[in-house]
Amino acid sequence: VDGDLCTLTVQIWHRCAADPMVHMQVLDLVSCCVSTEKRLQRSMEECLLPVVHADLQSTDAHLASSAMELFGVLLKHSDVPFAEAILSCARLLLAKAMQSDESMMLQNACETLVSLVQRSPPQGGDLLEPLLRFAERLLGPDLEDDACLYVGPLAMLLFANYGRMLPVQLQVGLLQALVLRLARAERPYLRQELVVVFARLLHEDLNGS
């Protein structure tokens, strides 16, 4: 039964690529399946990760953004340490996000990367360089507030998990970028999230911060 359900899910995902409402329903179905039973979760991964891998390389912004959402659902319930198939998709996600100016895509990317680092900090450390580049891009002047709403939690995780690995100069640069982004921010939610980063840093004993 699980094999038939996974195959049907992939078929619906492909056939309705241009319909965001159907994609949302598929995401709900996948979320329910992967959180219910371990065998079904693994079957869903086996069938859907190749779809994610392919769609993350698509030039269609909607398809790539939807793939990020689907990947986020799978990643939240995947076995830790993550399999190479998960990490391969994470690398594609980072590459796609670095090329995009789409606010929703960047939000999806950031949320998924936060989940990855939270669930497996050592494997997040293997992606530290591209994660730092992504955070730097979100904090830069070229993106609207909507594109970087979730950069605060990502930045906090980078400090909390990898602060001791970062040269002092790099830590200072990241803090300066956070300050400048806070000064430019117009969205109350973004300002709040960035203020939380500074508040937490003041209460944590992070090397060099």
Taking only the tens place, the pLDDT of each residue in 119-156 is 999 999 999 999 999 999 999 999 999 999 999 999 99
Give the per-residue pLDDT at 1. Answer: 53
Give the per-residue pLDDT at 97. Answer: 97
Provide the whole-model pTM: 0.92
Cβ neighbours of residue 58 closer than 8 Å, sequence gap 6 or more: 64, 67
Calpha distance 76→54 (Å, rounded): 20
Tell me the HSE value of 121 on the side-chain side, using a 13 A CA sphere: 10
Calpha distance 110→51 (Å, rounded): 20
Residue 64 contacts residue 56 (beta carbons within 8 Å):
yes
Of the listed ranges 51-65, 93-107, 195-209, the one predicted with least confidence: 195-209
Tens digits of residue pLDDT in 87-96: 999 999 999 9
Number of separate helices (H) and strands (E) present in the chain: 11, 0
Tens digits of residue pLDDT in 59-107: 988 889 889 999 999 999 999 999 999 999 999 999 999 999 999 999 9
